[in-house]
Amino acid sequence: MNKTELIDAIAAEAGITKVQAKLALESFLGSVTSTLEKGGKVSLVGFGSWSLSERSAREGRNPQTGKTIKIAAKKVVKFKAGSELEAVVNK
């Protein structure tokens, strides 16, 4: 499912227009993004939670040349599925 299909599904299920569904989805995504940007965590009970994790700098290998390269430290977004979502997926 892509963004357009998700907007269509939200509009159909909620009985709202596609424009309203797009605004709602973009608002949700913006809120999650800004919270994570500030270092926060977003939790939706039963569905899952998004959080930030830091990866330390490390050495890796270029698969083409076999040379050792340095990989910089960075922050990564992690998603952990909630119990209700896992139950539905693992039927």
Q: What is the pLDDT of residues 14-49, one digit of tens each?
A: 999 999 999 999 999 999 999 999 999 999 999 999
Co-location of 18 and 62 in the same domain: no
Question: Which residue in 35, 49, 42 sits closest to 82, CA to CA?
Answer: 49
Domain count within the chain: 2
What's the rounded Cα separation, in Å, for the pair 45 and 39? 19
CATH of the domain at 90: 4.10.520.10
Co-location of 56 and 19 in the same domain: no
Tokens of 34: 């800004």
- The pTM for the full model equals 0.79
Domain with 67, as residue range(s), is 42-91
pLDDT digits (tens, 9 = 90+) for 48-74: 999 999 999 999 999 999 999 999 999
Co-location of 54 and 73 in the same domain: yes
What's the rounded Cα separation, in Å, for the pair 39 and 17? 33
What's the rounded Cα separation, in Å, for the pair 82 and 84? 6
Co-location of 28 and 63 in the same domain: no
Co-location of 74 and 61 in the same domain: yes
Mapped onto helix, strand or coil, the DSSP state of residue 3 is helix
